[in-house]
């Protein structure tokens, strides 16, 4: 038979699926793939049950139901003083993943250069390959995961169409400093490129609060802000995400969305619209619980002898391996011998080999799960 699409034929299984499968096969505690092992808030699930019973079961409008877009818009205003018109500056997508796919497809022509900070989330690279972009990685260097401004400047040319930033950052837990974003802003204005800002961990921050890229001077018009409710409500399976940006960008992103999925699960949108409009109290508890989980895992791993960074955001913590160890073999040993699964971070790199010296643990797990993992690791 004739060969299939020659880009897709080279795609490998995502590292998250691989490690979760290995965890199940080895009956290991799964601190690899990023998802909670506990349910989302029952009051939000009750809202979805009600929406299902109220007959919200046919296609939703392709842009997303208006009350959800209004709730997203109101939260940008409320938490960040950012204005997004719910009528033409927000499109609801199947999680942030679909928003990323639609935005990259809508913006990038074959041969356009796209700058991505590595380590990066795996779906960016797949979407960029499909769009036939030239991917230009810029490394966030260990141990502080700052980019080198000279390296960034050298990576940008008149062909740069887009820069992708993930803030708070998976897998490092970094929050970009204002200074770093201002440097990016200067380059974006000078070289006239767009910014895709993946902010799915916007509410998972600890000592510092999140600042959206679009709220920096002069960046609002050229930034597409992507987020989702998967992490914030611990409901990763609902896949309610969105892109926000100027009306021309959102129209183009919607053009892709209408022919990839058309719309997003209707009853879940109804529930999320109400949840997003009433989340102040919930957010306080959410942040407190995750801060406890972070401290439990980080201090436990340190006691077990790991050199671990304290993440500023996300639900991931990175451990630096002893000299001579490499991430893939270390994760294999950890699963087999200690029955704990983590992610080898080389999977997030294209250019640098720094990833082979680290592994990522997820702390979006019940305290008992984290404690059992720490016991297995020798505590």
Q: What are the phi and psi torsion angles at 362 (to 5°)?
A: -105, 130
Beta carbon nearer to ligand PMP, 73 or 166: 166
Total site size for ligand GLN, rule CB under 6 A? 5
Cα 150–chain centre separation: 26
Q: Report if residue 170 touches ligand GLN, rule: CB under 6 A.
A: yes
Residue 222 interacts, among ligand PMP, ligand GLN, none and using kind-specific CB cut-offs from 5 to 8 Å, with none
With residue 198 as reference, give the H or E element that holds it: strand 194-198
Grouping H, G, I as helix, E, B as strand and the rest as coil, residue 39 is coil
Beta carbon nearer to ligand PMP, 193 or 201: 201
Contact in structure between 191 and 112 (CB atoms under 8 Å): no
Residue 14 interacts, among ligand PMP, ligand GLN, none and using kind-specific CB cut-offs from 5 to 8 Å, with ligand GLN
Rounded to a whole number of angstroms, the CA Rg of the chain reads 20
List the one residue out of 143, 182, 144, 142 whose CA is nearest residue 165. Answer: 182
Q: Report if residue 96 touches ligand PMP, rule: CB under 6 A.
A: yes
Q: Report if residue 313 touches ligand PMP, rule: CB under 6 A.
A: no
Grouping H, G, I as helix, E, B as strand and the rest as coil, residue 173 is coil
Cα 56–chain centre separation: 29
Interacting residue with ligand GLN among 33, 172, 269, 274 (CB under 6 A): 33
Q: Report if residue 79 touches ligand GLN, rule: CB under 6 A.
A: no
Distance CA 183, CA 258 (A): 35
Q: Report if residue 22 touches ligand GLN, rule: CB under 6 A.
A: no
Q: Report if residue 95 touches ligand GLN, rule: CB under 6 A.
A: no
Residues listed for the chain = 379
Distance CA 176, CA 140 (A): 10
Beta carbon nearer to ligand PMP, 161 or 231: 231
Q: Report if residue 330 touches ligand PMP, rule: CB under 6 A.
A: no
Residue 112 interacts, among ligand GLN, ligand PMP, none and using kind-specific CB cut-offs from 5 to 8 Å, with none
Distance CA 42, CA 226 (A): 26
Grouping H, G, I as helix, E, B as strand and the rest as coil, residue 3 is coil
Residue 16 interacts, among ligand PMP, ligand GLN, none and using kind-specific CB cut-offs from 5 to 8 Å, with ligand GLN
List the one residue out of 288, 234, 271 whose CA is nearest residue 41. Answer: 234
Shortest CB 197 distance to ligand PMP, Å = 11
Q: Report if residue 20 touches ligand PMP, rule: CB under 6 A.
A: no
Q: Is the omega angle on the peptide bond into residue 171 within 30 degrees of 0, that is, cis?
A: yes
Residue 137 interacts, among ligand PMP, ligand GLN, none and using kind-specific CB cut-offs from 5 to 8 Å, with none
Site for ligand PMP in 189-248 (CB under 6 A): 198, 200, 228, 230, 236, 239, 241
Distance CA 117, CA 178 (A): 16
Q: What are the phi and psi torsion angles at 191 (to 5°)?
A: -100, 5
Q: Report if residue 37 touches ligand GLN, rule: CB under 6 A.
A: no
Interacting residue with ligand GLN among 23, 29, 30, 34 (CB under 6 A): 34
**Residues binding ligand GLN (CB under 6 A):** 14, 16, 33-34, 170
Interface contacts to ligand PMP, rule CB under 6 A: 34, 95-97, 121, 166, 170, 198, 200, 228, 230, 236, 239, 241
């Amino acid at each position: 038979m004739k060969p299939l699409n020659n880009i897709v034929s080279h795609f490998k299984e995502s590292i998250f699926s691989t490690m979760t499968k290995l965890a199940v096969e080895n009956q290991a505690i799964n601190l690899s793939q990023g998802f909670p092992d506990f349910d989302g808030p029952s009051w939000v699930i009750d809202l979805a049950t009600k929406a299902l019973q109220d007959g919200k079961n046919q296609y939703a409008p392709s842009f997303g139901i208006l009350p959800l877009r209004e709730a997203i818009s109101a939260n940008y205003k409320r938490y960040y003083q950012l204005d997004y018109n719910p009528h033409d500056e927000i499109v609801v997508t199947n999680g942030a993943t679909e928003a990323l796919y639609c935005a990259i497809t809508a913006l990038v022509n074959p041969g356009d250069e796209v700058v991505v900070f590595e380590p990066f989330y795996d779906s960016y690279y797949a979407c960029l390959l499909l769009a036939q972009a030239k991917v230009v990685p810029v490394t966030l260097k260990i141990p502080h995961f700052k980019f080198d401004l000279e390296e960034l400047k050298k990576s940008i040319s008149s062909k740069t169409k887009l820069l992708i930033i993930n803030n708070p950052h998976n897998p490092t837990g970094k929050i970009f400093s204002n200074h770093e974003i201002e440097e990016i802003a200067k380059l974006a204005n000078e070289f006239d490129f767009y910014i895709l800002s993946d902010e799915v961990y916007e509410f998972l921050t600890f000592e510092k609060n999140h600042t959206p890229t679009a709220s920096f001077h002069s960046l609002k018009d050229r930034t597409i802000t992507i987020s989702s409710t998967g992490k914030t409500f611990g409901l990763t399976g609902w896949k309610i995400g969105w892109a926000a940006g100027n009306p021309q960008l959102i129209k183009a992103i919607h053009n892709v969305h209408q022919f990839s999925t058309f719309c997003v699960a209707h009853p879940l949108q109804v529930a999320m619209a109400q949840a997003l409009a009433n989340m102040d109290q919930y957010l306080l508890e959410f942040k407190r619980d995750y801060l406890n989980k972070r401290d439990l895992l980080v201090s436990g791993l340190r006691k077990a002898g790991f050199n671990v960074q304290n993440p500023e955001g996300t639900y991931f913590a990175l451990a630096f391996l002893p000299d001579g160890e490499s991430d893939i073999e270390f994760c294999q040993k950890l699963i087999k011998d200690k029955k704990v699964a983590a992610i080898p971070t080389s999977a997030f790199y294209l250019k640098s080999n720094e990833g082979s010296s680290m592994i990522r643990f997820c702390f979006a797990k019940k305290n008992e799960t984290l404690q059992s993992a720490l016991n297995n690791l020798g505590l």
